[in-house]
Amino acid sequence: MFRAFVTVLCLLAAASAAAAQTWEGPNHDRTPRAFGQGDVDFVLSELCFPFLLQGANGDALARERNLETAFGTQDWAGGDHAYLVGQANVMVSFDEGPEGRACTLIVRSGNPDRYRAAIATRMATWPVTLTPAAREAPRGSFASRALLCGPQEGPHDVALISIGGVNATPPVLMTLARLAEPNESCATPPAPR
């Protein structure tokens, strides 16, 4: 299952690399869907990408988009504010510190395969190609988990994409980050002797 997930992400990234456009910025007229399948594309394109690529303030993004603050402490958000995105089952959190910046989203219901496809399509517009880390990320309770890494040179971009099974909760937990230092899990392992 993990290999299939990574293969699909790689094929989509490779196939769309020439055809895909690089993300050109947020669309301020766009709003998240209020009903139905959670709007992962909105979270990535309109919230996470501006936060990470343009240095936007996460709280200001939430205010501009009229996002409500989630009630209580969200353990997946590491104690940071979490915001509801269009519906109660989709949330986003922003983290900024000396280690870099990260945007985490969680979707608590819906079809994991549709989310996987939406994530792959949107991530194909990220400015650099993210490729699977040499070492697999532990799956934990997820059906699949992929750690994707940016090139060794340039910004230290990583994405940890966790996809739940058909009846698993949550169907999606994803962190996209631009780190100050390379992530050791993204380092190329030494060649065997």
Q: If you average pLDDT over every residue of the chain, what do you get?
A: 82
Instruction: Note the pLDDT of residue 12.
Output: 40
The whole-model pTM stands at: 0.82
Q: Could you tell me if 63 and 80 are in contact, meaning their C-beta atoms sit under 8 angstroms apart?
A: no
Q: Is residue 177 over pLDDT 90?
A: yes
Q: Which residue has the higher pLDDT, 83 or 169?
A: 83
Instruction: Tell me the percentage of the chain whose pLDDT exceeds 90.
Output: 41
- 33 confidence band (pLDDT: 50, 70, 90): low
Q: Could you tell me if 104 and 175 are in contact, meaning their C-beta atoms sit under 8 angstroms apart?
A: yes
* Residue whose entry in the numeric block shows the structure tokens 């200001």: 60
Segment 122-140 shows an average pLDDT of 90
Instruction: Note the pLDDT of residue 169.
Output: 74
Segment 16-29 shows an average pLDDT of 65
| CA separation for the pair 135, 97 (Å, rounded) | 26
| Cβ-based burial of 9 (10 A; exposed 0-12, middle 13-18, buried ≥19) | buried
Instruction: Note the pLDDT of residue 6.
Output: 45
| CA separation for the pair 107, 16 (Å, rounded) | 25
> For residue range 132-147, what is the model confidence (pLDDT) as tens digits?
998 888 888 899 999 9
Q: Report how far apart the first and last C-alpha atoms of the chain are (Å, whole number).
A: 30
> For residue range 71-121, what is the model confidence (pLDDT) as tens digits?
776 777 777 789 989 877 889 999 999 999 999 999 988 888 888 999 999
Q: Could you tell me if 116 and 163 are in contact, meaning their C-beta atoms sit under 8 angstroms apart?
A: yes
Kindly give, in sequence order, each residue whose CB lies less than 8 Å from that of residue 126, ignoring residues fewer than 6 positions away: 22, 23, 49, 157
